[in-house]
Amino acid sequence: MKHWMRISLPIIAVGTQLLSGAAQADGPATPISKQGESCHLPNYEEPLRCVRINVPVDYAAPAGDSISLHVTVAPAFRETAKADPLFVLAGGPGQAGSGIVFLLDRAFKKVRATRDIVLIDQRGTGKSGKLDCDDLRDSETVTEAEQEALISNCLRNLKAPVQHYNTANAARDLDEVRKALGYAEVNVWGGSYGTRLGQAYARAFPDRVRALIIDGVAPKEQLLGEWGADAQHSLEAAFAHCEQDPVCEKTYPTLRADFRMLADNVEAGAVTLSFNHPRTAKPLSFVLPYSSFSETIRMMLYSAEMSARLPFLITESSHGNWKPFIAQMYASSDWSSDSMAIGLTLSVVCAEDMPRITPEVLAAEQTASFLHGLQLKQWPRWCAVLNVPAIPYSEPTPLATPTLLLSGALDPVTPPHRAETALKSLSAGQHLVAANVGHGVSHLGCGPKLLREFLDAPTEKIDGQCLNDIPLPPFVINVAGPAP
């Protein structure tokens, strides 16, 4: 259900200026409903078309090894579909297009009336040779040090040439997909990290992208892992909302103080949890690591519905009842959903972001928020194992593609000011903000309708007022749940 929001960690792509290959000769295309083969994917009832497309691992050596990309096509409902489909790019990096097919109904149903929807498994994700660490999901009982070792070990054993798994090559792949399917130009929807990839593709092949929709915008300037200030801001907003709500304010009058106390206790290593596992009921006991504490809080901020549970969780924990917090901590690993391809997450981050992290950024991140620079501490160690060469950064070039930017005001990773930064180099961009929404707007309220409206006339102005009609979910005030 909310997998997409839960696991979309936006990571910032360093879109190196790509050489636009002149793709002139587009042969007559086989109708999309005849390409590939009919297939069913989890979380979607109807048959789709699954197509495999081979692309070179290294574009500098096109005759060398190739990767087989998995592409899922949902043909338009209209037989004579519009010639320009919608390419859908998932987040992460590490999330697969085939893992977010449920968005077909939730976000793209109106668009699909007239356009094919093409979901792409970026190289290294999903069914496109996932760079995965299988045993991580069952690692709930191991210590932090053991988990570190597990990941390092897994990264060491990755067979793929990870230096070629980056945003620039993923963008080139997109154009190969476009060519193989026979489209002259495409529209692109990107969510979270997909916004970085989408912008990189549009910059590399401006003639091929008719319109761009980026939801939860990560501008090229943004560094993955440097998100403390945004997360802190999102947390403060959740607290402020509680204070403005008479019932929440009355129920949790000392919320901020309770949170500080908890954070201090956890950081001091003073919290030992003894509990039964929320899913398996297995008895467990360990000292709660600060990283687990802060990451659980951060993940909850992704969606407004989960944020509404925060005051209850914090207050219960401060009274010594950690059960609700523990259940929340394990919540994402409880579902057998397709996990992030952590190998790809790191191959992108280590080449594009980590080289840009200066000691100043690191120092600022340590003090910017309750996160205490979590990922920026972990990742360099893993990057050392992965050992991919750094990709030089260049400032974003101006882009004239009509672009719709969507932001949730409560987003802890890509809040509206990130989209405003991106807007500086997008001359035909319009930015819509949903007041009561976290990470990801397209599937909420009037979002699906706006997507269709924009794609039908990308240069027209869109009225996004209706996004503010999405209400703030009610706070959980006691064990009975939110106000009915």
Partner 1 sequence: MSRFTTIWRKEVTDTLRDKRSLMMLALFVFIYPLIMWSTLNNVISKSTKADRETNEVIVIGGSQAPTLMQQLKQQGITVLDHDDMDEPAITALLKERKQAAVIRIPESFSKDYQDLRPATIELWSDSAADQRSKLERVTQVLNSYGISIAQARLLAHGVSPAVLRPVQVQEYDTATSASRSGKIIGAIFGIFFVATFYFCLNLAIDTTAGERERKSLEILLAQPVKPLELIAGKWLAGALICAVGLGLELSVGHFVLKSMPLEEISLSWRLGLPSLLLLIGTALPLCLFASAFEIALAMNSKSFKEAQTAVSFALLLPLIPVIVVPMLDLNTQSWMYAIPVLAEQTLMLELAKGNAVPATAFLTTAGVSLALALICVGFASWKLKSEKFVLGV
Which stretches of the chain bind partner 1, using CB under 8 A? Answer: 33, 38, 40, 42-43, 45-47, 76-79, 113-114, 275-276, 278-279, 305, 309, 312, 316, 323-324, 326-328, 330-331, 334-336, 445-446, 449, 469-471, 473-474, 476, 478-484
Coil, strand, or helix at residue 298? helix
The CB-of-422 to partner 1 minimum distance in angstroms stands at 29
The CB-of-14 to partner 1 minimum distance in angstroms stands at 38
Coil, strand, or helix at residue 45? coil
The CB-of-104 to partner 1 minimum distance in angstroms stands at 12
The CB-of-481 to partner 1 minimum distance in angstroms stands at 4
Helix (H) or strand (E) holding 50: strand 48-56
Name the H helices within 38-143: 103-106, 109-112
Q: Are 177 and 367 in contact (CB under 8 A)?
A: no
The CB-of-328 to partner 1 minimum distance in angstroms stands at 6
Residue number with CB closer to partner 1 (105 or 176): 105
Q: Which residue has the tokens 């992208």?
A: 209
Residue number with CB closer to partner 1 (331 or 390): 331
Residue number with CB closer to partner 1 (186 or 300): 300
Q: Which residue has the tokens 């338009």?
A: 76
The CB-of-191 to partner 1 minimum distance in angstroms stands at 21
Residue number with CB closer to partner 1 (229 or 331): 331
Q: Looking at residue 58, what DSSP letter applies?
A: -
Q: Which residue has the tokens 């932090």?
A: 144
Angle between helices 342-352 and 374-386 (to 10 degrees): 90
Residue number with CB closer to partner 1 (59 or 330): 330
* Residues with Cβ within 8 Å of residue 393, at least 6 apart in sequence: 14, 16, 352, 355, 356
Q: Are 36 and 166 in contact (CB under 8 A)?
A: no
The CB-of-149 to partner 1 minimum distance in angstroms stands at 26
The CB-of-308 to partner 1 minimum distance in angstroms stands at 9
Residue number with CB closer to partner 1 (247 or 363): 247
Torsion of CA 374, 377, 380, 382, to 10 degrees: -70
Pair of tokens at residue 162: 């990870």
CA distance 215 to 473: 21
Nearest partner of 91 among 235, 258, 218, judged by Cα: 218
Three-state DSSP string of 442-481: CCCCCHHHHHHHHHHCCCCCCCCHHHHHCCCCCCEEECCE
Residue number with CB closer to partner 1 (333 or 425): 333
Angle between helices 228-244 and 255-267 (to 10 degrees): 140
Coil, strand, or helix at residue 66? strand
The CB-of-350 to partner 1 minimum distance in angstroms stands at 33
Residue number with CB closer to partner 1 (125 or 303): 303
The CB-of-288 to partner 1 minimum distance in angstroms stands at 14
Coil, strand, or helix at residue 350? helix
Residue number with CB closer to partner 1 (79 or 360): 79
CA distance 55 to 425: 30
Q: Are 155 and 349 in contact (CB under 8 A)?
A: no
Residue number with CB closer to partner 1 (38 or 285): 38
Pair of tokens at residue 386: 């992965």
Residue number with CB closer to partner 1 (390 or 472): 472
Q: What are the E-state strand segments in 289-416?
A: 403-408
Residue number with CB closer to partner 1 (161 or 474): 474
Q: What are the E-state strand segments in 314-427?
A: 403-408
The CB-of-101 to partner 1 minimum distance in angstroms stands at 12
Q: Looking at residue 334, what DSSP letter applies?
A: G
Instruction: Give the number of other CB atoms < 10 A from CB of residue 411.
Output: 32
The CB-of-364 to partner 1 minimum distance in angstroms stands at 34
